[in-house]
Amino acid sequence: MTPRPTVCLDVGSGWVKALGIDADGDPTGCAQHLTTPHDLLEGVLAAATAVGLDGPLTPRRGSESDAELLACSSAGGGLRLAVVGQDRLATTEAGYRVARSAGARVVHVQAGLLEPGGVRALRASRPDVVLLVDGVDAAAEGTLLRNAARLARARVRAPIVLAVHAPVRSDALALLKSTGRTVLATDAVLRSAGEVVPEPARAAVAELLGGHLVGGRGSATTARFRRLARQATPGAVRRGVIELARSRGAGAGALLVIDVGSSTTDVYSALPPTGPDDEPEVNWSTAEADLGMRPTSAGILTEGQSEGLVDPVEADLLMPAVLRLAEETDFLPDDPGGRAEDRRLVALASVLAARRHLRVAGEALGEVGIGLVVLSGGVFRQPDQVGMEAVRRTVRTDPVLRGLLEHCPMAVDDGFALAPAGLLAGRGRIKAARTVLDAAIAPDAG
């Protein structure tokens, strides 16, 4: 088949990014447009047209002279997680541990028997997922079964992650499924007094994230949009990360990518291939729904203070900017002070998300050594090179990250390359994917 021009689209919760690619695989320009939540296709068409798409939005174009359209989406943003359990302290801890790194944030906690008022409060929190946990004392089984029965009858249509002990799991599952609820059953999060094991439930929540990201929240054109963007952005970026790791070759060190978005901050890593024709050995990804740069930006300050990166004075100074970013999701600071606050927030989000990622993948990455860090996201495309160097320095010299990153080369994905490279590689266009990556990602000296 004769190669055609291509338009690659990444539809985020805040911005649509578009990259034009000619028939030879060379980038021809990139553009972005605000995501239009009530009609996703409006913002998509504006961004696609800016890089040369001429005609209707369809996944496959008819003529060989027409542009091919490849799209991925994270328009739905992070998951809103509600937690229902027995003891408030344990239930809260379970929810936060499960949500972390799975692309979710806790928006409601309900402890004890779920009464009508509790159901109303749960519905009012607009959850995308409900995590149902039990407890460890003698009353736990009865509370769980009553809560499962109440949820089965309630007008709460979000999927339910049932993370409870095996002896009672089948009965709770039968209650929930009797009314057609979507349920993912896993091992218990609360195993014994003081023991929290979030990994199985976290994996279930992460599994639900992909479908949520693609559709977008509140779109009037969800069905049409899903036909256009059939892949979640993290999947495309993961494929782009693999292609970048493969192109760097064996012995180049592991790859770490920090992607700071409007709703989430995602971190990806891959070990290098062991030989010239091998795939990178392992690929990890984590998603932090409380560390985004717009609706969830307050989480950056909360977690920054918790981790000792932000003192109360700095938190007070940054809070007005955070409140504005959260309320005006289309706001872009146009003065030096505002851009500096943006850079400080993106540096904090990067450090916090990387710390969490290393709790998952740090041992393996430390054994190989990290050979390149790639920073991605809208703030990183600011033209202020001095300011960007300050962001790099913050990431490199963080007390937790310094051992791995202090002398590590860094690159900024300022040409919007990773998701398009993944989309292209997924269609077998490896040469074009490599061209896109080479054009956009140039490491510094470290």
What confidence tier does 42 reach under pLDDT thresholds 50, 70, 90? confident
Q: What is the DSSP letter of 380?
A: G
Q: What whole-number distance in Å separates Cα of residue 372 and Cα of residue 235?
A: 20
What confidence tier does 192 reach under pLDDT thresholds 50, 70, 90? confident
Q: For residue 154, is pLDDT > 90?
A: yes
Q: Where are the beta strands (DSSP E) in 74-179?
A: 79-85, 104-111, 129-133, 160-163
Residue 291 CA, chain-centre distance (Å), reads: 10
Rounded to an integer, the average pLDDT of 11-16 is: 91
Amino acid 9 reads L
Nearest Cα to 187, choosing from 207, 167, 158?
167
Rounded to an integer, the average pLDDT of 393-420 is: 94
| Torsion angle of the four alpha carbons 251, 252, 254, 258, in this order, in degrees rounded to the nearest 10 | -170
Give the pLDDT confidence score for residue 220 in this predicted structure: 46
pTM above 0.75, yes or no: yes
Rounded to an integer, the average pLDDT of 63-67 is: 59
Report pLDDT digits (tens) over 232-283: 999 999 999 999 999 998 889 999 999 999 999 999 999 999 877 777 877 8
Tokens 């976290």, residue located = 202
Nearest Cα to 212, choosing from 234, 240, 228?
234
What confidence tier does 62 reach under pLDDT thresholds 50, 70, 90? very low
Q: What whole-number distance in Å separates Cα of residue 17 and Cα of residue 419?
A: 10
Q: What whole-number distance in Å separates Cα of residue 186 and Cα of residue 143?
A: 18
Give the pLDDT confidence score for residue 174 in this predicted structure: 98
Instruction: List all residues 6 or more positions away from 316 whose beta carbon is below 8 Å from its beta carbon.
Output: none
Amino acid 441 reads I
Name which of 59-63, 211-215, 324-328 the model is least confident about.
59-63
What value does the mean pLDDT of the chain take?
91
What confidence tier does 57 reach under pLDDT thresholds 50, 70, 90? low
Nearest Cα to 403, choosing from 339, 337, 354, 350?
354
Rounded to an integer, the average pLDDT of 198-207 is: 96
Q: For residue 426, is pLDDT > 60?
A: yes
Please state, as a whole number, how many other Cβ atoms lie within 10 Å of the Cβ of residue 132: 26
What confidence tier does 56 reach under pLDDT thresholds 50, 70, 90? low
Please say whether the dihedral angle defined by the alpha carbons of residues 226, 229, 233 and 238, taken in this order, is positive or negative.
positive
Q: What whole-number distance in Å separates Cα of residue 102 and Cα of residue 204?
A: 9
Rounded to an integer, the average pLDDT of 76-99 is: 96
Rounded to an integer, the average pLDDT of 126-150 is: 95
pLDDT more than 90, % of the chain: 72
What confidence tier does 59 reach under pLDDT thresholds 50, 70, 90? low
Q: What whole-number distance in Å separates Cα of residue 229 and Cα of residue 7?
A: 12
The per-residue DSSP string of 387-401 comes to: HHHHHHHHHHH-TTT
Q: What is the DSSP letter of 358?
A: H
Nearest Cα to 200, choosing from 108, 94, 107?
94
Report pLDDT digits (tens) over 342-371: 999 999 999 999 999 999 999 999 999 999
Give the pLDDT confidence score for residue 346 in this predicted structure: 96
Name which of 24-38, 108-122, 258-272, 406-420 the model is least confident about.
24-38
H/E element holding 192? strand 190-192
Pairwise pLDDT comparison (101 vs 275), residue with the higher score: 101
